[in-house]
Structure 1
Amino acid sequence: MPSSVIDHFSYDTKTKALKITFLTGMVYEYKNVPQKIFDMFRVSGSKGRYFNDQIKGSYKFKKLKAE
């Protein structure tokens, strides 16, 4: 299901880094995100809601260059 806020995302299993590109073009990398959290995010029906409830505010992040 398409998200109203998230354009696309990727996950690096070695570094546990979750990279999210928002529809605004802003890109953020969240650090030390467990595989289980990524798996649940990937299959969630509402990516924005899951992001707000489980990721935002729970993991350190850095803002990357906008795409």
Structure 2
Amino acid sequence: MRREHLDSSCVRSAGYDPAEGELEVEFVGGSVYRYLAVPEPVYRALLAAESHGRYLNREIKGRYGYRRI
């Protein structure tokens, strides 16, 4: 999955697979998580957010299943 670089202190990049509804997030520390059944507008809002980390914590973590890859 191709990820977009994000200018963030905690999120290095994020990518989205619309066919699967999967959001992939790479953190600055190097870990990568794939969030499941995420609607595309949520991904687009993450990219547009003033604070990517804050948006991720508020709108994605705890709302969608995930796995570390």
Q: TM-score when scaled to structure 1? A: 0.91
How many residues are paired up?
Answer: 64
Task: Please name the residue that 1:3 is paired with.
Answer: 8
Task: Please name the residue that 2:32 is paired with.
Answer: 27
The percentage of aligned residue pairs carrying the same residue is 33
Q: Report the aligned-residue RMSD.
A: 0.9
Task: Please name the residue that 1:60 is paired with.
Answer: 65
Residue 27 (structure 1) shift: 0.4
* Bigger RCO (CA 8 Å, 6+ sep): 1
Residue 39 (structure 1) shift: 1.0
Tell me which stretches of 4 or more aligned residues in structure 1 moved more than 4 Å. Answer: none
Say whether 1:49 aligns with 2:57. Answer: no
SS of alignment partner, residue 7 of structure 1: strand
Letter aligned with residue 62 of structure 1: R
Letter aligned with residue 28 of structure 2: L
Q: Aligned partners of 1:4, 1:52: CA distance in 2, in Å?
A: 13
Q: Which runs of 5+ in 1 are unaligned?
A: none
Letter aligned with residue 23 of structure 2: L
Residue 20 (structure 1) shift: 0.3
SS of alignment partner, residue 29 of structure 1: strand
Q: TM-score when scaled to structure 2? A: 0.89
